[in-house]
Every structure is written in C-alpha cells, then in structure tokens.
Chain A
Amino acid sequence: MEQSNQQHADLARKFNGNESRVNWHDETLWWIRQKRDKIVWQVPEWEALREAASQIKHHVLGNLADYLEEFERNAQQNGVTVHWAADAAEHNRIVHSLLQQQGVTRMVKSKSMLTEECHLNEYLAEHGVEVIDSDLGERIVQLLKEPPSHIVLPCIHIKKEEIGELFHKYLGTPEGNADPQLLTHAARLHVREVFMSRKVALTGVNFAVAETGEFVVCTNEGNADMGAHLADVHIASMGIEKIIPRREHLGVFLRLLTRSATGQPVTTYSSHFAKPRPGQQMHLVIVDNGRTVQLGREQFRNSLKCIRCAACMNTCPVYRRSGGHSYHTAIAGPIGSILAPNLDMKQYADLPFASTLCGSCSNVCPVKIDIHNQLYQWRQVITQNGHSPAAKTAAMKVMATTLSQPKVYTLAGKAGRWVLRNMPWLVNNRLNPWYKQRNMPEAPKQSFREWYAQNKKQG
C-alpha cells in the first residue's frame, strides 16, 4: 500500500466528505457484525471455543520455535520446499527468484494479507512481473489501483456502479450495468483465462499444522484452489504466527474463523495442502517481518494470536465511519493499529489513538485478544517515545469527524439504531454508563465524555 504521511484523522475527514457513502459503509459493516452475532448465538459453546483458541495460540507462542521446526521437518518430508524470510524484502526476493527459475513473468495470486504487508505486487511490478489478484474484491481494487480497504472484504468501500464502470472499461461489460450477478460472471470468465495460463500461483496460509506439515487455505470463491491446482509451482506465504500444533486444532479455528468474519458457518473451501501434485513444486515462505519483535513486547505479543477474521473492524465504530484507507497501513482497523506501530512507531503513532477504546473489538475477537487494552497501552508507549502530541490531537479530531454527525441521530426514530451501531459497548454492557465499565479510563475518556455530553444536548 502507498505509505502516506497523512494521519488517520485527515484521511478519515476525506472519507467523511461524502456523508451518504459513510452511512452506507457504516451500515454495511454493522450488518455483517449482526450476521456474525446471529450465527455465534447458535453455538452454545462459543465462549469455551474462544477460550480454547486463545489458549492454544498462547501455548504456540511459548513454543513457537519448536513448532516451526517441527512444521518445517514435516513439510519437507511431504516434498515441500521451505524458505525463511527475515523481512518483507527477503520475502519478495524469494518469490521473485522462484519466478525467475521458472522463466515466467506472470503470476496469479489469491488473497494474502502478508503479501500486502510486504508490498509484493509493487516489488514484482518493478521487476517486470505482472501479478493478477484472483479474489474478486482484490481484483476490483487492483484494477482501481487501490489497496484493499478491509482484510476480508477488500472493496467494501466501493459502490457497484463504480465497479460496473470499471468492468466496462477493462472487461467490456455493458455500459451502465451494475448487476452484481453479471459483473461477477464477467470477472469469472476473465480470471478463468488467467488460471488457465499461469504457471505459478501464490496463495496465503490461514493455518499451518506442525504435526503434519500441511497448511490450510480458506476461500469462498475457490480462487486459491483454481490457481494452485492448475499451476506448475505453488508458492504459499505465511507469517511465523500461523502455526497450530495438531490437525485436530483446526476444528477449533475453522469453527471460529468464518462465523466471526462474515457470519457464515464455514468458508466454502477449507483446503488442506500437504504435498505437491506429482510433477508440481510447492514452496512455503515463512516470514518474520517484525513478528519476533512483537513477540518480545510483552504487552503486545497477544496480537500475534490474530487469525485475520476482521470481526474487530466490522464492529469498530471508528473503522466503520472512517474507512480502511484512513489507517494508511495494509491491515486496517483495531488490530492493524496494534500491529503497525510495531513496524514503525513514528509513522503509525496516530493509529492507537484512532479508537474510542470502547472494547467492542475485544468482545468479538475469536482468539480473545485484549485489543482495546493493547491500543491503550500503545498510547503510553508512543507517548513515552515522544510521538504523542500530534497523535493525541488527531484522536480528538477522529472523534469529531467520525462520530459526531448530529444529523444522523437527531431523528428520534433512528436514535436507537444509532446507539446500537455506534456504541455497541453500551448494549454489550447492558446500558451501564460506559465510563464505569471501562478498564482504562484515562485521557481519551475525558475527551469522549465531553463529546458525548455535548452531543447529547444537541440530540
């Protein structure tokens, strides 16, 4: 993603320039959050599952080196070539060298936030390699020359009419047609050609099983499988934290992942890759890129438990009203605001302040990361490191920009819905005054309370 010097508040203000679009974005994400709730309530043991997932991940972090070695050993025995990359640059070089070995300059790629984090597409483009993203949402933002704005729903910020225009231009769909069915079918035909002609396919990894050396990739579209099964070479990129000990633990994580992400019971495909096909090469690139540093930060290491479901984004009142691009980092939203400062504390000093610390993220996180608590703690660390004043001001501006839109809630009938959408913690906490319930009532409380009091008067 293009790294910007602009801060979250400025970018959020830009996004808020179009009020009806912001409302639409907000409502769409809240709708997904509600779908999540509905399906979660059907699983009586949900809380026990979250606890188990969190503990399994904690156990893995305490034994990560051993599990990675076990995973490597088993993957190699399965005929998979394992590469290690200390940082994004090394990851990109490895992928490029694999492409060079094949003598190809074109590759198809399914969704991988890690490759976004590493800016792989840009790197390969500079080296004359064309990458086609095969996930529909990713293909759309790729054609728009934008980064994804959401880790699960890459083009959640774009209207179908804009996609209709885009596809008319690039794929020759009829002008003025914005029918999702037609547009999806056009993309299917377009990407099918890509699948049929690419020799190298790259996928992400959702889970890597130490015990068996296999890795699991989850998609709804089937694009990871189409790419990998039709290519001579399959490259899979994974962060070191994707490890789980045993195959049976997939039961826990696959039950949690998609319910949390989109409110579906499971993704259409949960593909378990253990060995290459006869004649096929399979490569795994295991990437650090700052993760071992985060592991050493005691108060932030829990963020490495993340399974990238995006539930924390869908529920976040700031994310919903500021848009993914306002976070100016590959992974937006609450979790991205914990991960990014680890990579560059100064550049991302604003992000932990782009939060109300309401705790709704922590409530929905399937691996029980104490997200809002970590955001609060980043504020302390950032302040101690002298990056704070501008960022603090930014935080105030965020509240002003993203949350105080009087028009929305002066309408009496809408008030209840507005509270639900924008202050989910009030509901979660059975309407207890929010400031009594919170764990961390420091600086941001003051400004938010002022804001709340003021706006209540207006309402």
Chain B
Amino acid sequence: MVCTKQKTGIEVHMSSRNKILSAIRSNKPGAQPLPGITGFTAQQPDTERFVNTLQSIGGRVVRVRSFEEIIAHIREAFPEGTRIISSLPQLAGIAETGWSNAPAHSLENVQLAVFKAQLGVCENGAVWVTEQDIVQRAAAFIAEHLAMVLEESTLVATMHDAYLQLHNQRYGYGVFIAGPSKTADIEQSLVLGAHGPRTMTLFLV
C-alpha cells in the first residue's frame, strides 16, 4: 500500500495496483493501431531446412518409418536396464509408461524420456509440446537424454505458422524445445548439456 496525502489532508490508501494503472493512464502515448501480422504466415515447410537447423543446434535427427525402428534405435543406444520413460503406449516394451502420478523428483535418475511432439518449426528446429504430451512438466528437463517423435506432416515453416495452429490451444504449460540444453557462458565455448537433457534425438516419421 502506498499512502498519498490529498489536498484535504485526509490520508488515503491507494493500492500499488491502482497507483500503477492510473500513472500509466495519465502518462501513456496516444493510441496507435495494432499492426497486422498475417503477411508473415503461410510459408511452405521445408523438411531439409528443419533437419539441417536442428542438427546445427546440436540435435540428432533419425528418419524412421515405424515404432519398431524407433525401438531398435533406442535399444542400440541404451542397454537393457536403463531407466526410460515415455508417454507412448507403443514403447511400453522398453519404457515405463505408468509414471504420471510419480513425484517429479523421483524422475531424477531417468536416462531417457521419449515423447511425441505436436509440430516442428523448420526455421529454428523447435518442436512444440504441452504438458499433456510430456505427462509431467519436469520430465522433459530432468532426464539425461530426450527423444521426440515427430510426424513430418506436422512441420510448419515459421513461428507464425506454428502459432496459427496454437493460438486457440488450451494448456497449463507448453514449450518449444529446440535441441539439447546448452550453454556458452564459459568463454563462448558451446557445451551441450547445461541443466536439461544432454542430448536431444528427433525421430522423424
């Protein structure tokens, strides 16, 4: 609360909220229309560009035709006994799928998390998931390695095209993920694996 003295000498309390809003109203510039941004949308997706961009930011791209191929690939990279979690029933043979109610902290020893992404963005290699897709928000971050399954038909050219699809979507949490977590804070040398997954593999179906 902020106290202001009026001319009458009576002290009135004005909440910071109202004080801020009224200061804005008296200080704001004249109205200017919102520009249209429709001109930026509806570009053609380009798979090659998506793959190259994702690889350039540290992602791995594996083209597959079936879940059998995905399973074979995972089996090759992660020996039996590795803790793998997934939201995909097709992976139930190699991954835990019943962890939706497990405490987030208990996922700390997960080696690999595999999810299905809703769409991919060619211009920046990002894929979009919401908490429905990743079951628990922490799951896409706490795992040592992350893999995403993406259908090629969901690729869009730019972020504008992505939001054209997402603008009405309801979610509690959603995230664009572009490659593995990374940092270049030490003398600008790029290191993959900052606080999130150290690798990110994309299975392009």
Contact = CB atoms under 8 A, between A and B. Distances in A.
Interface of A: 28, 31-32, 43, 45, 48-49, 51-52, 55-56, 58-59, 61-65, 68-69, 78, 84-86, 90, 134-137, 140, 153-156, 159-160, 163, 180-181, 183-185, 188, 191-192, 195-196, 220-223, 225-226, 228-230, 240, 245-252, 254-255, 262, 264-277, 286, 288, 292-293, 295-296, 298, 301
Given A84-B20, A86-B2, A230-B104, A270 B189 contact: no
A265 B125 contact: yes
A48 B26 contact: no
**Would you list the 5 A-B pairs with minimal beta carbon distance, nearest first?**
A222-B196, A296-B27, A221-B194, A265-B124, A137-B185
A86 B16 contact: yes
Nearest to B20: A288
11 contacts: A28-B188, A52-B35, A55-B35, A63-B31, A86-B19, A86-B20, A250-B163, A254-B176, A268-B196, A277-B173, A286-B20
Interface in B144-184: 158-160, 162-164, 166-167, 171-184
Contact of B159 (A183, A188, A191, A251): A251
Nearest to A62: B31
Given A63-B31, A273-B173, A265 B37 contact: no
Contacts of A137: 183, 185
Contact of A251 (B25, B160, B173, B183): B160
A68 B188 contact: no
B177 A269 contact: yes
Nearest to A253: B159
Given A134-B195, A248-B160, A274-B171, A266 B24 contact: no
B188 A268 contact: no
A268 B53 CA distance: 12
Contacts of A191: 195
Contacts of A225: 137-138, 140-141, 175, 196
A301 B182 CA distance: 35
Contacts of B34: 55-56, 59, 245
Contact of B195 (A78, A155, A160, A221): A221
B195 A269 contact: no
Interface residues of B, number: 74
Nearest to B159: A251
Contacts of A252: 37, 40, 160
Nearest to B35: A55
Interface string B178-205: 1111111111110101111100000000
B186 to A, nearest CB: 4
A272 B183 contact: no
B159 A52 contact: no
A272 B185 contact: no
Contacts of A56: 34-35, 37
Contacts of A61: 28-29
Contacts of A246: 167
Given A184-B194, A252-B40, A266-B176, A220 B182 contact: yes
B21 A68 contact: yes
Nearest to A255: B159
B65 interface: no
A255 B196 contact: no
A168 to B, nearest CB: 14
Interface in B103-145: 104-105, 108, 121, 123-126, 131, 136-138, 140-142
Contacts of A180: 186-187, 189, 191
Contacts of B186: 136, 140, 155, 160, 163, 180, 183-184
B163 A247 contact: yes
Contacts of A68: 20-21, 24
A155 B21 contact: no
A183 to B, nearest CB: 6
Interface string B90-102: 0000000000000
Contacts of B33: 59
Interface in B69-99: none
B174 A272 contact: yes
Chain A CB within 10 Å, residue with most, of B17, B40, B164, B194 = B194
Contacts of A62: 28-32
Given A248-B167, A268-B182, 5 more contacts: A84-B16, A268-B178, A292-B23, A293-B27, A295-B29
B172 A220 contact: no
B185 A229 contact: no
A411 B30 CA distance: 53
Given A183-B186, A225-B137, A265-B123, A220 B21 contact: no
Given A58-B32, A180-B189, A221-B181, A292 B27 contact: yes
A62 B24 CA distance: 9
Nearest to A225: B141
A249 B160 CA distance: 8
B15 interface: yes
B167 A247 contact: yes
B40 A269 contact: no
B9 interface: no
A292 B24 contact: yes
A195 B162 CA distance: 31
Contact of A45 (B40, B164, B183, B191): B40
A80 B53 CA distance: 36
